[in-house]
Amino acid sequence: MAKSPVRKVRDKHVKELAAWLKKNGDKAKIPGLPVKTIHRGDVRRKQAYRIPREYLYLNAFNHRFTTDWDNLKKDRKGKEFDPEDDEDIEQIEDVIKGEGATDNKVRRQKFKDLVDGMRVAAKEVSGSNGQEIPGIVLEDGTYINGNRRAVALEELKDELLKDPKSKKGGVRTNNFDWIMVAVCDPGTTESDIRRMELREQVSEDLRDPY
């Protein structure tokens, strides 16, 4: 049987995330929240960190949305998504939210429920952004599990920035600028990623996915 290929990563992003972790990793660690990742078929428990979202990137290869990616790429004449391009990011976010050209009523409602739940959770604990379960990223910061939570955090941040009461009181959005994630080991394969995505999808049916 052919071996599963290793997911291609962006070297520049790998170096940037590694440099941030080297400088800030000790104080960014989240005690008591080990995260199960998969590497070459083996389960590995990894440290979770609070990492600024600016070092992390939405995933336009998530298998959950394969049909949407294929349809969009036809319109884009096969052009791959650039996780640093504002227009491409907006298209990826639309897929995740079930909006735009990839309109999906069920997905749109699930995303709304996620945002509503995280909004409530954020208000219950001082300094929280509403996320309770860490996500998973590749070594270059590409989300494996956590795409929806990352987009939800951006929605909550935008809400605060647009809220007249928040503006009057001096809005603080920094709680929504970071996200809890564990970082996979180098050499994570497509099969590993698929297994982690499936495990996350199943777990969402059993718990509140904040």
Q: Report residue 179: phi and psi, to 5°.
A: -145, 150
Task: Write out the two tokens for 83.
Answer: 């996780």
Each residue's pLDDT tens digit, 86-132 = 999 999 999 999 999 889 999 999 999 999 999 999 999 888 999 99
Task: Write out the two tokens for 97.
Answer: 């939210």
- In which order are the strands placed within the sheet that holds 135-137? 48-52, 178-183, 135-137, 143-145
Q: Hey, CA dihedral for 56, 61, 66, 70, is it positive or negative? A: positive
What length is written for the chain? 210
CA distance readout (Å), 140 to 97, 105, 115, 169: 23, 32, 26, 37
Q: Is the pLDDT of residue 204 over 70?
A: no
CA distance readout (Å), 114 to 96, 130, 208: 12, 10, 8
Each residue's pLDDT tens digit, 46-72 = 999 999 999 999 999 999 899 999 999
In sequence order, the 6+-apart residues with CB closer than 8 A to the CB of 200 are 136, 145
Please compute the mean of the pLDDT values over residues 192-198 and round it to a whole number: 95
Closest CA to 100 of 121, 80, 71, 77: 71
Rounded to a whole number of angstroms, the CA Rg of the chain reads: 17
Q: Report residue 48: phi and psi, to 5°.
A: -95, 145
Name residue 163's amino acid. Answer: D
Q: Is the pLDDT of residue 184 over 90?
A: yes
